[in-house]
Structure 1
């Protein structure tokens, strides 16, 4: 039973990488029709409304009584609130390439935080594999001519903080998986995300006298499709699956899968935006995959279930 749970967790991790990889494409489409805060509002509106249906009909049971709700609220503050807010304002002051490079360091930050708060142990070879995965992403961006400009320091700092926010989410979600079901955590996070971004968006439109523009994006079928994908698939589904994954495997092992999304977004760009794939893309992709496989394959032989049980999270 436990082995089946691990296989499902790894399958979900790969699925999430594919979903996130395509989310960059849909985000580009959505931002043509709406600003960042409006896009986030509709994104989380879609996820919250869709999940509210099974909750309202009792198909999904939700109960927060007697559970550490304060820590769950802190989780929501890290993701989606902290992560997306920092990302939006960071990308306004830095380039998307810089964002991609900095985001690739999320597994490293997660590994450090998980070792401190969850006492997760990684071997030297696993650490090297994590860095290999990161190097693969950085290699692709650098070979494309991208680099980090110190003149964009404010944006760089904000984007690096997104790594901390996602790493903090991964670690805290793993510790909370023994108290909440994936549905309970996901519903809380989607609801808080929707309410917060709705308030911020409406406040911004009111202050600038553009409140009538709030509904304008809904005139576009492309925007609605993008919002549904970003909200239901890229937010709700990945949150549900990530919470399940973190109840089965260490946060440091899960986080390295995020770098696979770079490969997926590269393929999506080639298929739908006619972006060119070169030799360095293949080399970088090989390094990323080798790092992901190496990290998790070596994790199977560093202490087995005993090592996992010491994390204090449920495994079944």
Structure 2
């Protein structure tokens, strides 16, 4: 009888392990799908950002962007569509996270882009997966296999290749703008690593709510302060009479801020920081396709070659894992 009980208990244990592994796999698949959706939204956001900045200035655009994003999540909470833990005493742990993103990331990006061409900025932002991998290995002790490191470099090289073929080169003489953009890159990498750790304690939606609230308060404070100094407060709202600006801000606020923040936080709860960060390069592929389809921009052979390298790098980073690394990732 004792032998039969052991066999029965062993069978139940195997079934439970198989069921648990199935849940893990579904979580990973969903994380990859969300990462793909996230890359598409970010890739399209470049088009809407260009439209908005042509009508308004970068700080006002960020203020309206986070206003729409925060109003969206507030409405969802008010109508009880989603639940958020509103106990403020638990949110102090998230303040350092919100300094990295959205505060530092968008602020240094906005001022850096004023003096650095977008082609140079694209090359600098391609380094984010490398920076994230280094920070994650140091602070989170996340391990990446040699194949994953090679895949990350392949993806980064794909972005470098596209922008260099477009005539992009990083000019050291423009060191102020480059420094600001590098701080922006480090800020996003810092957010990715820190969020990965905090998601063991906080729910993705709770972090998203707090991030958007800080973004709303910070960028509106700066925008209003600037307009008061310039005695142009009324002009701040003139862009809202432009339909193209409103459509752009709705996309940037609801999809490119609220949805992408929520997706990013969910993804980081399922996969490692380095795996998540390499998906950021996919936005380059999306922006190329969007430019060709929507703006009728020409797509050259170097676009295709670079995009192929990016895609190969993303796939390799997320598939070429050692078994012990995979176990650490899903736990």
Question: Are residues 1:152 and 2:184 paired?
Answer: no
Does structure 2 retain, via aligned residues, the 8 Å contact 1:67–1:179?
no
Question: Are residues 1:162 and 2:184 paired?
Answer: yes
Return the alpha-carbon distance in structure 1 between the equivalents of residues 93 and 209 of structure 2.
Answer: 15
Does structure 2 retain, via aligned residues, the 8 Å contact 1:202–1:211?
yes
Match of 1:237 among 252, 259, 267: 259
Query: What residue is the counterpart of 1:303 in the other structure?
Result: 324
Q: Deviation string for 1:255-280 (max 9, x for gaps)?
A: 00000000100111112222111011
Runs of 4+ in 1 over 3 A off after TM superposition: 64-68
Does structure 2 retain, via aligned residues, the 8 Å contact 1:123–1:302?
no
When residues 218 and 144 of structure 1 are mapped into structure 2, their CA distance, relative to the original with a 3 A threshold, is same
Question: Are residues 1:250 and 2:295 paired?
Answer: no
Question: Are residues 1:62 and 2:84 paired?
Answer: yes
Q: Deviation string for 1:148-172 (max 9, x for gaps)?
A: 1112111111111111111111111
Q: What is the correspondence of 1:47-126 to structure 2 with a 5 Å cutoff? A: 47-63=69-85, 65=87, 68-126=90-148
Does structure 2 retain, via aligned residues, the 8 Å contact 1:86–1:162?
yes
Does structure 2 retain, via aligned residues, the 8 Å contact 1:29–1:226?
yes
Q: Deviation string for 1:184-235 (max 9, x for gaps)?
A: 1001000110111001001111111211211101000110110010010011
Question: Are residues 1:268 and 2:290 paired?
Answer: yes
Return the alpha-carbon distance in structure 1 between the equivalents of residues 255 and 209 of structure 2.
Answer: 14
Q: How many residues are treated as equivalent by the alignment?
A: 309
TM-score normalised by L of structure 1 = 0.95
What is the deviation of 1:66?
Answer: 8.6
When residues 116 and 67 of structure 1 are mapped into structure 2, their CA distance, relative to the original with a 3 A threshold, is farther
What is the deviation of 1:106?
Answer: 0.3
Q: Deviation string for 1:58-80 (max 9, x for gaps)?
A: 33222254975233111111111
Does structure 1 retain, via aligned residues, the 8 Å contact 2:144–2:325?
no
When residues 156 and 306 of structure 1 are mapped into structure 2, their CA distance, relative to the original with a 3 A threshold, is same
Question: Are residues 1:280 and 2:302 paired?
Answer: yes
Return the alpha-carbon distance in structure 2 between the equivalents of residues 37 and 4 of structure 1.
Answer: 40
Query: What residue is the counterpart of 2:238 in the other structure?
Result: 216
Larger Cα-atom Rg:
2
2:85 counterpart SS class? coil
Q: Deviation string for 1:89-126 (max 9, x for gaps)?
A: 00012111111110011000000000011000011111
Does structure 2 retain, via aligned residues, the 8 Å contact 1:67–1:180?
no
Q: Which runs of 5+ in 2 are unaligned?
A: 1-22
RMSD: 1.3
When residues 228 and 66 of structure 1 are mapped into structure 2, their CA distance, relative to the original with a 3 A threshold, is closer
Return the alpha-carbon distance in structure 1 between the equivalents of residues 259 and 88 of structure 2.
Answer: 26
Question: Are residues 1:8 and 2:7 paired?
Answer: no
Return the alpha-carbon distance in structure 2 between the equivalents of residues 264 and 62 of structure 1.
Answer: 32
Does structure 2 retain, via aligned residues, the 8 Å contact 1:104–1:259?
yes
Does structure 2 retain, via aligned residues, the 8 Å contact 1:68–1:179?
no
What is the deviation of 1:56?
Answer: 1.6
TM-score normalised by L of structure 2 = 0.91
Query: What residue is the counterpart of 2:199 in the other structure?
Result: 177
What is the deviation of 1:308?
Answer: 2.4
Does structure 2 retain, via aligned residues, the 8 Å contact 1:89–1:155?
yes
